[in-house]
Amino acid sequence: MSDAPIVEIDPKAFWADPYPTFARMRAETPVAHVPQLGATLLTRRDDVFREEKRIDVFSSHQPGGLLQQVMGANMMRKDGDAHMAERRALFPALSPRTVRDVLAPQFRDIVAGHLDRLRPLGRADLVHEFAMPVAADALRVMTGLTNMDFADVDTASQAMLDAAANYQGDAEVDAKGHAWAATVLEKITERLPQLRARPDHSIISVLDQAGLSLDAIAGNVRVIIGGGQNEPRDAIAGAVWALLTHPDQHALISDGHATYADAFAEYTRLVAPIGMSPRRVAKRDTTCGVTFEEGDLVFLMFSSACRDAAHFDAPDAFDLTRDTGPAIPFGAGPHFCAGAAASKSLIADHALPMLFAALPGLRLDGDVPFGGWAFRGPLTVPVAWDV
């Protein structure tokens, strides 16, 4: 185990709000071992930014890690040439050109369809009635899993993510995650003959065209369902919450002094939907004043890095005028999120502007609780609008 100082946490309080703990850690123990998580956490932005790139020490290859146990072998848990080979295979499905020419028109139709359904109702929970189905329908198009409905995509994503972050070893959580992973494999197997007959830009199709095995396709699609459902769902609902609770900031967009892209970037800095990435120490090394031993588990805390006061004034504030350039909610190294362009298009170019344009007088209609530390977002966002 590393010789980092030990910081004890209350897991329930940490899940409810990890930011006070992160602030203390950045100030006093920026690299600390947390027994309740069984890992050593890096919490300062510059340390995370630097060490994420040192894959010879902080390796993504974790054959026995929870993510790989649940999802199967995937590019997120590979480094070097093995990672890049699968990333190159994926690129045609998520390239900026594909996002612009293929996905964006479908994103527009998806968002418009869900807004047409909501508009007459006058009130809704944005998490479950808008952000969740929008993100899931976008994923169905992106992956090629059109034989799953949006509710099952969301349930599969949450179940697999819960199991992948199940560091407390809850047997029920583990079983549910593995059951949904098996379901995703079944749905991929159903779709492959159709996509081989009519290849397209979907993730399943491009990975199959690149010659990946069924297991490799399934492992990567499962990981993409996890991050690709969780992050847009939580970022859509969370960004709306942030804009509704900061009308002065939303006014900057109305006045042309800021954009919804700025709101997306600032919200994901403030509340990184994917809060951390685990790494396995591949060889003994000393960095940040701490000696790590081979086999140690390390968490690179993106959510803490994005609120580092060394880079952001008033880091706990939502401010569309700030420079979010130093923020790393999508990572910073070779594992930078492959779906970042698609996420920005879905949220900043479509979901947010179309929502505010379609629902006049949009306002909060109740409390908005947040939860999570490995994956974080609003649990419910009740809103109302004028009909």
CA distance 180 to 28: 41
In this predicted structure, what is the pLDDT of residue 88?
94
- Return the closest-CA partner of residue 90 out of 146, 136, 161, 142: 142
Which range is least confidently modeled, 256-265, 314-323, 330-339, 352-361? 330-339
CA distance 33 to 41: 6
pLDDT in tens, 19-32: 999 999 999 999 99
Does position 64 have pLDDT exceeding 80, yes or no?
Answer: no
pLDDT in tens, 345-372: 999 999 999 999 999 999 999 999 999 9
In this predicted structure, what is the pLDDT of residue 117?
97
CA distance 67 to 247: 39
- Mean pLDDT (whole number) for 22-45: 97
- Mean pLDDT (whole number) for 67-84: 85
Residue 336 — very low, low, confident or very high, per pLDDT cuts 50/70/90?
confident
Q: DSSP letter at 4?
A: P
Sign of the alpha-carbon torsion through 254, 350, 325, 263: positive
User: What is the average pLDDT score of the chain?
Assistant: 95
State the pairing for strand pair 39-42/297-301: parallel
In this predicted structure, what is the pLDDT of residue 226?
84
Buried b (16+ CB within 10 A) or exposed e, 4-34: beebebeeeebeeebbebbbebbeebbbbbb
The side-by-side arrangement of strands in the sheet containing 276-281 is 31-34, 39-42, 297-301, 276-281, 58-59
- Mean pLDDT (whole number) for 320-328: 97
Does position 1 have pLDDT exceeding 90, yes or no?
Answer: no
- Considering the domain 11-384 in this protein, what is its CATH number? 1.10.630.10
Does position 107 have pLDDT exceeding 80, yes or no?
Answer: yes
pLDDT in tens, 269-305: 999 999 999 999 999 999 999 999 999 999 999 999 9
3-class state of residue 10 by DSSP: coil
What are residue 38's phi and psi, to 5 degrees? 65, 30
CA distance 216 to 123: 42
Which has more pLDDT, 19 or 67?
19
In this predicted structure, what is the pLDDT of residue 63?
74
In this predicted structure, what is the pLDDT of residue 69?
84
pLDDT in tens, 153-199: 999 998 998 888 787 788 999 999 999 999 999 999 999 999 999 99
Structure token digits, residue 217: 């396709």
- Mean pLDDT (whole number) for 86-99: 95
Sign of the alpha-carbon torsion through 134, 139, 141, 144: negative
